[in-house]
Amino acid sequence: MSARIAVTGAAGRMGRMLIEAISQSDQAVLTAAVEHPSSSMIGSDAGELAGLGKNGVIIVDDLSKVLEQVDTVIDFTAPEATLANAVLCAQYSKALVVGTTGFETQQKAELQAMQEKLALCIAANYSTGVNVCLKLLEQAAAILGDEYDVEIYEAHHRHKVDAPSGTALAMGEAVADSLGRDLEKVAVYGREGQTGARDKETIGFATVRGGDVVGDHSVMFMADGERIEISHKASSRMAFARGAVRAAAWMAGQQAGFYDMRDVLGLN
Ligand code: NAD
């Protein structure tokens, strides 16, 4: 049976992609679509909005109006909106797939604490390729150990509002965990001026923003005489949307708890 899905942020860049990806999935069906109350798209047909032709799902302004008719909510909006939607999903016992990035540490903790009452999947990046990269990064860091300097580069389109990307941070966390380091203590977000020589433990991040870059990530392990790069380049948001729909179908009916894309893909 297909999982019944609600998409919040339906008129956003990812929202439209998600509506299209659901229409192509045999594991999921779109039964609700939600936008911010100020959106001019309230009352529009979600299929038409995504350029697919009418599908009969009308965009509403409040998730609580449609939660009875869904199994899983896919939320790619903004941190405050995602937190409010998580509270509703817990109340109605619906699974939640979170794609939103840019949470403050406190907001992330609040969201994670809801796993007691809520089947919650969070991934900074829902593409299958990036999740395979995360696994490779853990393995590479475990083998290479402290001898290699680790630096992370990421590039995104000019509209992205948070930096570094959630994916770059997830990559940093995968490496730091594997090396027994705390990313919050060793991360360096950009360098300028008289920085001094590189501190061995640090994991540096470099951010580029511009044009229509969907998402480039590269993690470099550098030693004297050699360099390894584990890179991923997304050329379409469809890579994220397909993965999130796969996660949403897998999450329907899961018990309360905290899941990520590696659980969905069986990589954990
Ligand atoms: P966007 O600005 O195009 O879309 C966000 C949409 O959410 C907008 O249409 C906005 O009106 C809507 N929204 C905001 N508050 C709302 C509310 N309270 N209720 C309903 N809708 C609300 O942004 P985007 O490019 O689609 O990205 C959205 C988020 O997803 C960002 O945090 C981005 O970093 C993240 N993202 C994650 C992945 C991943 O794989 N995890 C991939 C791409 C983007």
Shortest CA distance to 161 belongs to which of 12, 11, 7?
Answer: 12
Confidence grade of residue 178 (pLDDT, cut at 50, 70, 90) = very high
- Give the pLDDT score at 207: 98
Q: Are residues 230 and 241 in the same domain?
A: no
Structural domain count of the chain? 2
- Model confidence at 184: pLDDT above 90: yes
Q: Pocket residues for ligand 1 (CB within 6 Å)?
A: 8-9, 11-15, 34-36, 39, 76-78, 81, 99-102, 123-126, 240
Query: Residue 26 Cα, ligand 1 centroid: separation in angstroms?
Result: 24
Residue 204 sits in a domain whose CATH number is 3.30.360.10
- Model confidence at 83: pLDDT above 90: yes
Structure tokens belonging to residue 246: 């796969």
Q: Are residues 62 and 194 in the same domain?
A: no
Shortest CA distance to 55 belongs to which of 21, 31, 83?
Answer: 31
Q: Are residues 194 and 132 in the same domain?
A: yes
> What residues have CB less than 8 Å from 193, skipping those under 6 apart?
none
Query: Residue 19 Cα, ligand 1 centroid: separation in angstroms?
Result: 13
Confidence grade of residue 267 (pLDDT, cut at 50, 70, 90) = confident
Confidence grade of residue 153 (pLDDT, cut at 50, 70, 90) = very high
- Give the pLDDT score at 22: 98
Q: Are residues 229 and 248 in the same domain?
A: no
Q: Catalytic residue at 217?
A: no
CA distances from 146 to 85, 140, 206 (A): 41, 11, 21
Q: Full-prediction pTM beyond 0.85?
A: yes
Q: Catalytic residue at 160?
A: yes
Q: Are residues 103 and 115 in the same domain?
A: yes
Nearest CA to ligand 1 atom 16: 36
SS3 state at 180: coil
Q: Are residues 107 and 173 in the same domain?
A: no
Instruction: Tell me the pLDDT of the chain averaged across its residues.
Output: 96
Q: Are residues 80 and 11 in the same domain?
A: yes
Query: Residue 267 Cα, ligand 1 centroid: separation in angstroms?
Result: 26
Nearest CA to ligand 1 atom 18: 81
Residue 39 sits in a domain whose CATH number is 3.40.50.720
Domain with 160, as residue range(s), is 128-234
* Across 183-202, average pLDDT: 96
Q: Are residues 147 and 76 in the same domain?
A: no
Q: Are residues 202 and 253 in the same domain?
A: no
Query: Residue 238 Cα, ligand 1 centroid: separation in angstroms?
Result: 14
Nearest CA to ligand 1 atom 10: 9
Give dist(CA 156, CA 4) in Å, integer: 31
* Across 121-141, average pLDDT: 95
Give dist(CA 19, CA 10) in Å, integer: 8
Q: Are residues 63 and 147 in the same domain?
A: no
- Model confidence at 130: pLDDT above 90: yes
Confidence grade of residue 77 (pLDDT, cut at 50, 70, 90) = very high
Annotated catalytic residue, options 160, 185, 200, 232: 160
Q: Which of 77, 107, 131, 246 has most ligand 1 atoms within 8 Å of its beta carbon, as the pocket-test mutant?
A: 77
Nearest CA to ligand 1 atom 35: 100
Q: Are residues 85 and 26 in the same domain?
A: yes
Give dist(CA 213, CA 186) in Å, integer: 28
Query: Residue 140 Cα, ligand 1 centroid: separation in angstroms?
Result: 32
- Give the pLDDT score at 124: 87
Q: Which of 38, 76, 104 has most ligand 1 atoms within 8 Å of its beta carbon, as the pocket-test mutant?
A: 76
Q: Are residues 102 and 44 in the same domain?
A: yes
Give dist(CA 151, CA 174) in Å, integer: 13
Annotated catalytic residue, options 94, 156, 217, 232: 156
Nearest CA to ligand 1 atom 12: 9
